[in-house]
Structure formats: C-alpha cells, structure tokens
Amino acid sequence: MTVARRIDGKAKAAELAVSITSDASTLLVEHGIRPGLAVVIVGEDPASQVYVRNKKRTAESCGFHSVQRTLADDASQTDVLQLIEDLNGDAAIHGILVQLPLPEHLDEQAITQAIEPSKDVDGFHFVNIGKLTAGRTSDAFVPCTPAACMLMIEDEIGSDLSGKNAVVIGRSNIVGKPMASLLIKANATVTITHSRTKDLPQVVAGADIVVAAVGRPNMVKADWIKEGAIVIDVGINRVEKTVDGETKMGLTGDVDYDAVCAVAGAITPVPGGVGPMTIIMLMANTLRSARFSAGLEG
C-alpha cells in the first residue's frame, strides 16, 4: 500500500525564513533599506486578527519594518482609500496588504486596486494579474498561496511539468486562476474545475497534480486520486473534531487526508502545509519589492 510523503510546509517555511532574514540584513547593511510591510485591517473579525498577528510576527522575525494600521468596523471607503494613498507614498513601506474579508459596506475591488502595483505584495492588482497571466513574472508579484503551492510541487517533481496533467479544484481570483497560470507557465496541462464541473471525481482522477481550493471540508476522497499523484490542499476549514471523547473545534482541509494518504505520492497536511508557506511567500514578495526599490531586481 502507498503511504504518501507528508509535504511539511512548516519546515520549508522555516528554511526560507532563514534565507529571507539573511537577505534582508544584507540589504540593510549594504543599501540602508529595511523591507517594510504594512497590513491594513478593518474591524475586529477574530480570524483576521489571528492572521494579521501571524504576519506581523513573521515580518518582525525576518528583520522587517512591520506596520499595522487598524480601522474601525464602520470606517468609510474614503477613510480606507486615504490610508492606502498615505502608505503608497511612504518610502519606508515596500509592501501593502489589506486583510480580507472587508466589512460588507466597503468595495473590496476598489480598495485592492488602489494599492500601487509595485507595493501589491498580495498580487491582487490587475497589473500583477495581467503579468502573471502573460507569463511575465520577473517583475510581477504572484499571489502568495499559489506561489507557495508551486514551490512545494517543484520540491517534489521539479520545475518543468511537461507531460503532467494538473487539476485545480476552485476558480477563485486569489488561488484557483493564478494557480492555473503558474502551472501552465511550468508546462503542465491544466484543467480548472469548480462547482459546475460535470463528473468532478472522474476529472480529478486523471491528474498527476491536484490542487484543492474550494473551502469544503474533506471533499476530495481517495477514489478521486490517481495513485502516486501530488495533492496540495489549500483548504482551511473549521470543523468539530472528537479527540479522546471530547469535542473541540479544529482545522481540516478540502482533502480527506487520512484516506488520500493511502493513494497519493505526496500530500500537504492541514494545518502545517500551505498555510505557513503562504505567510513566508508574503515576506519573499516584500523583500523583492524592497530590492526593486534599490534597483537590485527587475
């Protein structure tokens, strides 16, 4: 029986953090530039607060200048746009991200598009999306989660995916679509699936690489997976779990991990897989932006 290799995102992120911290230190010593990351959060959503704390802690541990700007839940569109304009003009800030989701009264697209493309370390600006779609990533920021997934896939089977069939489950602008663009750039044959895909299990069963990003706990079953496939689970779902007879809230992915482990060649766990890698890719993008500002890349 196959037992899938566990792709340890936490360990890979720790390894990358060492090199990012070293490069940030060199940039400061040689060019007087400390990478600066500003996180904007609107409201008091508990999950968002946790994510923001993790990003701030990681930025500080990498030696970055880390700034958090918190606005009240009822902040106006004008308030948010003014804050972004101020950060766009701040030379000490190289990366700006707005923590999503935003309160319903705010226009998410208008706000994310207000960030200067050169500081859009989330990779959500249409300029960066266009460059990624065109395969021109040398001076673009790639969304952090797809970038993280690609690194983990490359670690398993290399950077040239010629002849590989990849299926992306989910078509979001944040994960599904940019993930497909990265896989195409690496020469994979790519299928994007979603809630309206006919015979989804059959489509997934032909894939050498599966990226699940739909937000439905344990949706992807073992009989969906080709033997030896690489399975990347982007899902983070809060569910009730029973441990030693006690029911608690825990995290699970979009993939039925235990069952799929018996079929797949390699798989990311949840937690400890894509999540830690997403945060470290945010740091990598911020460092790149700081290097761009010094004329060292591009």
Give the residue numbers marked as catalytic.
Answer: 55, 99, 122
With both helix axes pointing from N to C terminus, report the angle between 176-185 and 126-133 in degrees, rounded to the nearest 10: 40
For residue 45, the one-letter residue type is D
Are the beta carbons of 234 and 274 closer than 8 angstroms?
Answer: yes
Query: For residue 41, what are the β-bridge partners?
Result: 70
Pick from 276, 278, 277, 290: nearest CA to 37: 290
Measured CA to CA, the distance from residue 283 to residue 58 in angstroms comes to 8
Q: Hey, what are 34's tokens? A: 């400390």
Q: Is 157 left (phi over 0), alpha (psi -120 to 50) or beta?
A: alpha
Secondary structure letter of residue 220 according to DSSP: B
* Residue 57: closest CA among 66, 69, 48: 66
